[in-house]
Every structure is written in C-alpha cells, then in structure tokens.
C-alpha cells in the first residue's frame, strides 16, 4: 500500500518528467516501474491514470502490457545468457509460462473490475453531462436576460450622455453668470467693508457714551437707595417714641377719663403721621422699583449694543442672509469674525432631518451648532455666523454623499 506522501512525491516526479517533454507512454511506463519495483504494487489502469493524469481507457492498458512485455523480454535474456542445462532451461520456461498465464488471468480480472469502475464513472459522467446541459440552458436564459438588461443599460447610458452634454452647456452659461455675480458680490463686499469700518468708529464713540450712562445710572441708583434707607430710618425713629407714648397713654386711660379724649386725639395724630411716613416710604419704594426697572432695561440695551458692536441692522441682515445662502467663503467668514454675532439668529429646525431643534454650544473657545435628533453638526467655528452658515449648508453635503 502506497502512502499519501509517497504518492505525492511520485506525482511530483511525473510532473517534472512531463515538463521535460516526456510523452504519455513514457510517463505510464515510469509509473509502472516505480510501482512494481519500488513499492511492490501491481500496476493497474486506475493507479497509473491517477498518478499520470493522462491517457484514455484503451491507451493505459496498452502501456501496462508493454511494461510486462519488457519485463518478460528482460527475463528471457537473463535466463538464456548463461550456461544453463537444457532440462533446467525447459523447466524455467514452463515456470515463466505458468507465471505469465497466471498474470494474464489476474490482469483479465483486474481489467474487468476496472471496466466496471469505468462504466460506473461513465454513468456518473453522463448524469453530470445532463446536469451540465440543464445548467447550460439556464445559463443561456440568464445570458439572454443579461443581454436585454445590457441593451437597456446602453440606452440609459446614451440618454445620460445626452443629458450630460446639455448639463455641460447649461453649466458653462451658469458659470458665466456666477462669475458676474462673484464680481458684483466683491464690489458689495468692499462697500460693506467700508461701512463696517465707519460703523466701528461710530461704535467706539457710542460705547464710551454707554459707559458714561451706565456710571451715571449706578450713581443715581446708589443715591435713591440711600434716600430710601434714610427715610425708613427717620420713620422708624419717629414712630418708636410715638408707639411708646401711645402705650403709656393706653395704660393711663383707665385712671384719667378726662385725658382720654386728649390721648385719643394724640393717638390719631400719631397714626396720621405714621400713615404719612408709610405713604412716603411706599412712594420711595415705587420710585426705587421704577429706577431698578430702568437700570435693568439700560443694562439689557448695553449688553445688546455690546454684542452687536454697533453694526447696522441692515448690514448685519445682509451678511447673515449671504452666509446662510452659502455665498460667503470660509475665509470671508473668518474675516468677519464675531462682528455680527449679536444679529445672528439660530435656525428653528434642522435642515437635514427638518424635525430637530438645533442647539448652540461653546467648544474650545469657539461655537458649534448641532441637531440632537439626527446628530448633524456644523463643526467647531470661531463665530456664531460661521457655524450657522456651515449648519445651513450641511443638507447639500449630506445629499451629495
């Protein structure tokens, strides 16, 4: 019995002979020789065919028979070449004849077994052929459908090529109009830059005026608060003795009936004075609340003016509209900076999912606008205007992907 590694080594040896130009018969004879002499295995058609991977069912038995003929010829030469007695030579011939007959019978049996194996292989091959024919028919049908789809795809390609040509022509005209618009926007940008510089100078003067008003408002608030505090202290100082005297008069009222009317009149006067003082305190408290409301309003105005930095509302509106329309580049947005952040309003809905309400957050000294529903974000930006512009342009970028 030949082992797997020996079988693989014999196959490699035969492959090397095949690459060197050996023909089928030489390969079969070499396989028979190795099987018979090296492994002690009688060569059969199946074994030789498995090793050489070549030859038909009629060629390999011929090659095996040729191998046995060479063996028998070599045996005759060796027997006839020496000085053998005639009786011994005759007995040797009979022995060889019997061996040959036995070998022929065994070869016939082996041939019959191999023929049956070949018939079974042939039946399997015919079944495989029928299966392959069925698959071929299915493949032909699939090929016809593929060809139909290919024709439709080519028609679609030609249609798309026509559309591409039309779109290229339209793009050229749109590019010309875009260049005109860019030049116009550059001119508008220069004029807006000049107006921004003018507004910045005006803003500096206005900021100084606001600081002065804020300081004056603080002094007025402190003054009114001190007045209210003094009035309350004065009322307290005047009311306490009156209350003490009122208590003593009430204590003496049981003894001096005559002085009761006098005490009642004094009590009435004291109550009148107390009501007057309380009314004055209420008026001063009302004035304090009014002054506090004025201070809060002025504070809010100062905060708004500081956030808007003196930019005209119309100019800020134009810049915000250009940024949200995607008509300002990143360099221009960076140049504008936070000048118009006080006029920038956040979008009510996300342009990507159209359901979420965007949220503005500060990250690493900048801003970021993001949608909590679809996680669409603008990325970090140096100003509110920049992140709002990126966030508004994010729908087109998402659609392109």
Q: Taking the mean position of all CA atoms in its chain, how far away is CA 358?
A: 20
What is the predicted pLDDT for the residue at 398?
Answer: 39
Please, how many CA atoms are within 13 Å of residue 105, restricted to the half-sphere of its CB? 5
Distance CA 383, CA 314 (A): 19
Question: 309 and 342 in contact (C-beta within 8 Å)?
Answer: yes
Residue pLDDT tens, the chain, 401 long = 678 888 888 889 888 988 888 888 888 889 888 888 888 788 888 888 888 888 888 888 888 899 888 887 765 544 444 455 666 656 766 777 677 778 777 877 887 888 888 888 888 888 988 888 898 888 888 888 888 888 888 988 888 888 888 888 887 777 888 888 888 888 888 888 888 888 888 878 878 888 888 788 888 778 877 887 887 788 778 777 777 877 776 777 667 777 667 767 887 887 888 888 888 888 888 888 887 777 777 666 655 555 555 566 777 777 778 777 777 777 777 777 777 777 777 777 888 787 778 877 777 767 888 887 787 887 888 787 788 888 887 743 333 33
Query: Positive or negative CA dihedral for 43, 44, 45, 49?
Result: negative
Helix (H, G, I), strand (E, B) or coil at 181: helix
Give the pair of three-digit tokens for residue 166.
């039309």
Helix (H, G, I), strand (E, B) or coil at 311: coil
Question: 64 and 51 in contact (C-beta within 8 Å)?
Answer: no
């Amino acid at each position: 019995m030949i082992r797997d590694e020996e079988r693989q080594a014999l196959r490699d040896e035969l492959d090397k002979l095949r690459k060197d130009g050996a023909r089928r018969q030489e390969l079969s004879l070499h396989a028979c020789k190795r099987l018979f002499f090296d492994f002690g295995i009688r060569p059969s058609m199946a074994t030789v065919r498995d090793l050489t991977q070549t030859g038909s069912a009629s060629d390999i038995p011929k090659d095996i028979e040729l191998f046995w003929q060479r063996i028998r010829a070599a045996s005759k030469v060796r027997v006839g070449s020496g000085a053998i007695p005639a009786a011994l030579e005759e007995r040797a011939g009979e022995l060889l004849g019997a061996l040959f007959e036995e070998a022929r019978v065994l070869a016939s049996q082996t041939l019959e077994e191999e023929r049956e194996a070949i018939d079974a292989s042939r039946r399997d091959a015919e079944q495989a052929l029928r299966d392959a024919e069925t698959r071929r028919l299915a493949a032909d049908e699939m090929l016809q459908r593929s060809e139909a789809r290919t024709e439709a795809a080519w028609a679609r390609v030609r249609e798309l090529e026509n559309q591409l040509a039309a779109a290229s022509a339209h793009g050229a005209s749109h590019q010309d109009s875009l260049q005109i618009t860019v030049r116009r926007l550059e001119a508008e940008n220069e004029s807006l830059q000049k107006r921004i510089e003018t507004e910045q100078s005006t803003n500096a003067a206005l900021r100084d005026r606001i600081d002065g008003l804020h300081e004056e408002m603080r002094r007025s608030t402190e003054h009114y608060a001190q007045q209210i505090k003094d009035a309350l202290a004065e009322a307290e100082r005047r009311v306490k003795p009156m209350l003490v005297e009122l208590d003593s008069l009430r204590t003496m009222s049981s003894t001096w009936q005559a002085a009761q009317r006098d005490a009642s009149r004094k009590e009435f006067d004291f109550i009148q004075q107390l009501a007057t003082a309380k009314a004055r305190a209420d008026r001063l408290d009302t004035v304090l609340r009014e002054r506090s409301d004025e201070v809060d309003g002025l504070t809010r105005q100062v905060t708004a003016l500081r956030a808007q930095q003196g930019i005209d509302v119309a100019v800020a509106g134009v810049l915000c509209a250009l940024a949200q329309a995607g008509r300002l580049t990143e360099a221009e947005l960076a140049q504008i900076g936070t000048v118009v952040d006080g006029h920038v309003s956040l979008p009510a809905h996300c342009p990507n999912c159209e359901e979420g309400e965007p949220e503005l957050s500060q990250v690493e000294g900048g801003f970021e606008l993001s949608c909590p529903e679809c996680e669409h974000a603008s990325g970090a930006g140096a100003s509110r205007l920049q992140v709002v512009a990126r966030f508004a342009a994010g729908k087109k970028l998402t659609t392109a992907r």
